[in-house]
C-alpha cells in the first residue's frame, strides 16, 4: 500500500458519475466514473468510512448522484474541516470527524472520512 495517489485521482477529474453506492454495512462508498477521454471506466472505493457529509447546493428534494459531472476528488491529510453530528435526544452525544476526501459533483460536495481508498483494485492507506 502506498499513499501517493493524488495524481491518480486527478486523472478522473471532469468525468461523469455512473453511480454512487453507499454500503454502510461494510463501511464503504463506491463511485463508478466514466472518463470522457478513455473507453474504460474507473471504480473508486472509499473503505473503512467513519462518516460522510453531503452538501447539496442545488437544494433538490431527492439525492440524485448518478449521471452527474464529477469536478474533482481531493485528498488532504489534515482534512477539510471538522464536522460535528449531534444526537438530538441527548446534548452530550457528539460525533466529531475530519473528512479527508472531498468529492465535488456539479454544485454539490460529498465529504468522506475514510481510512483507505481503492482505485481500480489498488489499495492506498490514508489514515492509521
Interval 15-68: pLDDT, tens? 888 888 999 999 999 999 887 666 678 899 999 999 998 887 655 555 555 557
Residue whose C-alpha cell reads 502506498 in the numeric block: 2
CA 4/CA 47 separation, integer angstroms: 17
Residue extents of the structural domains in the chain:
6-125
Give the pTM: 0.82
| CA trace torsion 114, 120, 123, 126 (10° rounding) | -40
Q: Which residues contact 64 (CB under 8 A, 6 or more apart)?
A: none
Residue whose C-alpha cell reads 449521471 in the numeric block: 67
CA 11/CA 35 separation, integer angstroms: 9
Q: What cell does 97 get?
A: 470527524
Q: Which residues contact 40 (CB under 8 A, 6 or more apart)?
A: none
Question: For residue 96, what pLDDT band results from cuts at 50, 70 and 90?
Answer: confident
CA 44/CA 70 separation, integer angstroms: 12
Amino acid at each position: 500500500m502506498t499513499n501517493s495517489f493524488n495524481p491518480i485521482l486527478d486523472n478522473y477529474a471532469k468525468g461523469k458519475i455512473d453511480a454512487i453506492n453507499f454500503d454502510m454495512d461494510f463501511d464503504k462508498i463506491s463511485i463508478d466514473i466514466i472518463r470522457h477521454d478513455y473507453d474504460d471506466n474507473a471504480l473508486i472505493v472509499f473503505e473503512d468510512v467513519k462518516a460522510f457529509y453531503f452538501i447539496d447546493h442545488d437544494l433538490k428534494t431527492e439525492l440524485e448522484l448518478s449521471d452527474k459531472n464529477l469536478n474533482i476528488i481531493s485528498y488532504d491529510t489534515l482534512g477539510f474541516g471538522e464536522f460535528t453530528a449531534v444526537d438530538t435526544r441527548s446534548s452530550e452525544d457528539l460525533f466529531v470527524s475530519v473528512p479527508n476526501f472531498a468529492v465535488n459533483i456539479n454544485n454539490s460536495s460529498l465529504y468522506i472520512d475514510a481510512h483507505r481508498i481503492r482505485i481500480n483494485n489498488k489499495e492506498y492507506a490514508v489514515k492509521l
